[in-house]
Every structure is written in structure tokens, then in C-alpha cells.
Chains A and B, each alone.
Chain A
Amino acid sequence: MKVILQSLTKEFPSRNKRSKDVVVAVNDFTFEIPDGKLVGLLGPSGCGKSTTLNLISGLEKPTRGRVLFGDEDVTDYPPQDRGVGLVFQNYALYPHMTVFQNIIFPLQNLKGKDKLTKQQMAEKAEEAAKLVQISELMERKPSELSGGQQQRVAIARALVKRPRILLLDEPLSNLDARLRLQTREELRRIQRETGITTVFVTHDQEEAMSISDMIVVMKEGVLQQIGKPQEVYDDPVNLFVAKFLGTPPINVFNASIRDGGLYIGDERVLNVGAADSESITVGIRPEGFIPNKDGALTLQLTAVEVMGRDTSVVSVHPECVGANVRSIISADSRIANDAHKVRFDLKPEKVFMFDKQTEKRVRVDLKPIGR
């Protein structure tokens, strides 16, 4: 089932009761989630991603705009009629019910011709439990389960009705680091096995990048960019997206264009096919640096951190917007720890130019400087 959002807008009344202002949590969203995909809604906290999820589930009603599941306009449907499964950040398991009772709870609400016999419910519950591998926990209470197990129960409960869309709100944020890695693989597997269109919300870009077929980056209620994780990473539309994706984060410099060259400080680092400009921001991915003793860009070295496969070089530069510059290079290229300066050439495809004022991407042709 594909999900289509059309000019979706959600406004909340302002906290300040006196003022007539509204807070726009989601602002004019339009996009389409293809059938059977796993989609990550990504953004910093307060960007409206959870509201978007609630609009899809029907827990919130949009101020304007439509929500479509396939060809069906579900905007005015209450949550229970939309056929969605929802998994909450803190799982929202009913504490007084056993795992089995929790899982069959949604089925007990079915009425009329959809009504199931006890036997059918038990079968469906078994099936869902098997899918998330908790069959042996059916008689336990939620308080007797670990975080990861509770998570699985919550997913089983969301899946038991065979929803058309599965929605997950920060599904991994309450788990510890090791379990998180394991669970995200698990999510991927469950989604593949069921083929249910799945939307999950996260503030962790790594999590979103690693398992999503598609990511949706948001900021302050405004959609920034949609695409396959790698495409978005390789081709960000603005400085926010570039900064939000990737660990370590992208290095940002103040730069200028003079006589067909991109300058950081006084150093010409790349050739560029664009008119002269003083107000340019440049982002360089950590992996965009090539160590070279005659390299174009000179940095003050502060530390070299060897991390096995890679080496992380920490340095400073007066034009750098952040505290320091972090570059990841192959462990083979040795850099003396006691050197004061380090010089790099840059990979043009890892360098993005942005307008300093609008922070929008300036798409230009970048080339290494010929020497």
C-alpha cells in the first residue's frame, strides 16, 4: 500500500494562550511513500516527524491537506478504520495484561463480520509472536521482559491485525547500543518478510541510513529532501541536510570564488566553473581529504586518532565554522603525530558548495587544480 501525503499541514495553538499565533508543526508536506518500502522520517527533535507519523495514523487531524493510502482518501477516517499498526517509543504495552493478552487486544475490538473466535485470535497471536520470535514469552507480564523483548511484543501487537501500514515512533531509542544494532536488522527482516509499507521516525541518521529504502529529512516542519539514503548523502540539497547526515559530520568552511578558483583562506583548493563570489560556504565530507605533502589545503594538526581500519585526523583551520576539522583517511597513509601542519588535496565529489545566506546548494562543476 503506498502512502501519499498532499500539502499536509498541521498547526497547533500557541502555548501562550493570549496570542492568536499558531505553531506550525508540519508545513505543506507533499510526498509519496512507495508500496512495500521501509521509510525513515529523519530530523532533529521538534522537527515535526512524530506529528507527521500521527497524521498518517490518524491520531491527529491535519489542519489542511490530504492523506491517501493507495487511491483511498483516509484523511477523515479515525485511526481504527485506517488499518495501521503503531509502535510507540516506550512501547505502550498494557502493564496489567500478559504478552498474549496485549497481542490479542486489537483483535478483540473487531466488530461485526470481522469478529474472530477465540481460536482464530490465538492463531493470529501465535503467528505474530512467531514472526518476532517471542512465542515462549506469551504468559509473561511486560514488567518481566527486557527492553528488547517489550519492543518485539509491541511490534507483534501492531502486526497482529495485518495492518496496511506499519508505523514506528523512535523504535530503537529506548534500547542500549548493542541491542539497537541487532534490533534494526530485525526490523529490516520483519519488514521484508511481511512486505508491509513501514514508516519509522528517528533522530538518529545512522539508524535511518542503515536500514531505510528511502529517507525523508525534515527540519522545523518543513520537508528538506527525500531519496535513497546514499543519494541524499551524496547529493544534499542544502547545508542542513549535508550537516545532518554522516558521522563524523561534514566539515564546513567559509570560502570564496576568485578567478575560477575556490579559495579557503588564501589557498586555492579546487577549480570551479562559476562567477566570483565572496559569500560561499563549503562543506567537505571527512572522507574527502587525500593526504599529500604538497596538498592544496593546509591545516594545523591537533591530533591523529588511529582507529584500526581508518585514521582520523583532527586539525584546525581559521576559516572552519566548527571547532575543528575531522578527516578520515586510510590507515596506510601515515601522518606523523608530532607534525604541526598537515596538507590535503580534496576529492571534488565530496565537496559541496552552498550559498552563505540561503544555505541552499550551489551546483557547480568542481575540478582538482592542475599542477
Chain B
Amino acid sequence: MKVNKAWLYLLPAALFLIFFMVYPLLDVLVYSVEEGYNSASQTFMGIGGYNYSYVLHDPYFMQAVSNTFILVIITVPVSTGLALLISMALNSIKKLRELFQTIYFLPYVTNTLAVGLVFMILFKKTAYTDGMVNALISIFGGGAVDFIDGPYWAKMFVLCFYTVWVVLPFKILILTSALASVNQDYYRAAKVDGASGWRVFSRITLPMISPMIFYLIITGFIGAFKAYSDAVALFGTNLNAAGMNTIVGYVYDMIYGDSGGFPSYASAAAIILFVIVLTITVINLLISRKQIHY
């Protein structure tokens, strides 16, 4: 029998994908409805929605959900707005532009865990030092705060700050190239028509790059909902203890780690996360379809 050669070329990719994506995807659905699963004996007691209800009643999960939502609501608009501001500034200059672009992109290629540790020591207050940031605050007359082991809002601030720092390179890059690709003739025409700077921005620039902004908002939402390693870098692996866990963190803790080996709960939590992300993405897409006119 002559097998079409094309399948041979596809075989490696197909094997990897079936084994490590398709099968796990189906399996996670099964896990999530198997009640009382025991990883040691690989037995379960019944089928039902108990895992979901357990997860939804777990205070750690609710804490993780609330942390994640706060993180998303703060960092997505802040990072997108800041990226837009910086990209516009970058686009308006000629000198040093390449240098700035290179510097701004650096966080993209650095290890999140490693640099997170630097942020941790910058913000941390210890027995012998208040840390660099607190030293700065004291110059302006403020009192020292422990951003890493201190009050919730301080920890959330650091997490948001670091998240923005990490996601900005990508956004700046996308927006600068979007801005650069706007046909200069529009600006020349607007100049001839005597449009003010604000009008040029709101009536030409913004509409022209709106598809890219929406793209960034959507990927921003998705990315922020999956926040995890940033939090680990700042607060350590025991995020529940720090009260700074995220949904993804909860999933991983359930697979393995301090609460150890509950794949059913992990699956239920992962599916809940997927549903949340999917819903928000669909809403985003619906809004963007209304807003983008070309």
C-alpha cells in the first residue's frame, strides 16, 4: 500500500500534539468530573460536579481569583496606556531612538524569575536595611513599608509594578511598529488642514492603530490571567501563605507542591480559568468588532 508521503512529514508533529496536547485536553475534562480521585491508587468514587464546587468554595481559590482579577484590572489598562504614551514619544524623536528601543526591549529577554528576585530585594524590608525603594520613600518623608511581607496593598502594588515592567517591552514594540506604519500622508494632510495635535491623535493616529491596540488588550488580558511566575519571583513558591496566589498558581499547587497531588481539583480550577479567559476574550472581540471600522 502506498501511503501519502505527506503524512510522514506530519507524523512527528502529530505524535507530539496528540500525546501532549489532545489527549491531556480530553483527560483534564475527565479528571475534573471524577470525584474523590486518588492519585496513589488511581481510583475514583463517582462522576459529578463536586470538584468544581470544592474549588469554588476553597478560600484559597477565591483569594487567587480576586488577586488575579485585581492584577488584570490594574495592569492591562496601565500597561497599554503607558506603552501607547512611550511609543508615541519614541515615534516623535529621531536621536537616540534606537538606543531607547533597545533598552525598552531588554525585560523581554530576561529571565522573569531572576529579575523578579532583584525587584524583591529592591522592595524588601529586612532587619538590617529598609531596602532601596524605602530609602527613596524616606527622602520624600514617607515611612518604611515592607512591600514583600507587609500589607496586602503594598504586595499587590509590587506585583502590578513588576507585571507592567515585564509586559511593556512587547506592547511598546508592537505599538511603535504600528505607529511607524501609519501612512505619513495622513499627517501631512492633517497639517495642511490645520488640525490640532489632539485632533490628529484622536481622529487619525488612534483609529489607525486601533486594531493593534485591541490585539494588545486581548493578549494582555489572556497573559495577565495566567500570571504566576512573576508572583513566585517576588513572594516565593508558597503563594497561599503570602496571600498572593493567582489562579494558575492555585492549579500548580494542586498538581504538586505544598497541598500536594489533587489533579481533579487542579483540573476543575484550570477549566474554570479557561472559561473565564474565553468569556473575556469573546467579550473583547465583540467590543472590538464594534469599534474597529476597517
Answer yes or no: A and B touching, Cβ < 8 Å.
no
Binding site for B on A (CB under 8 A): none
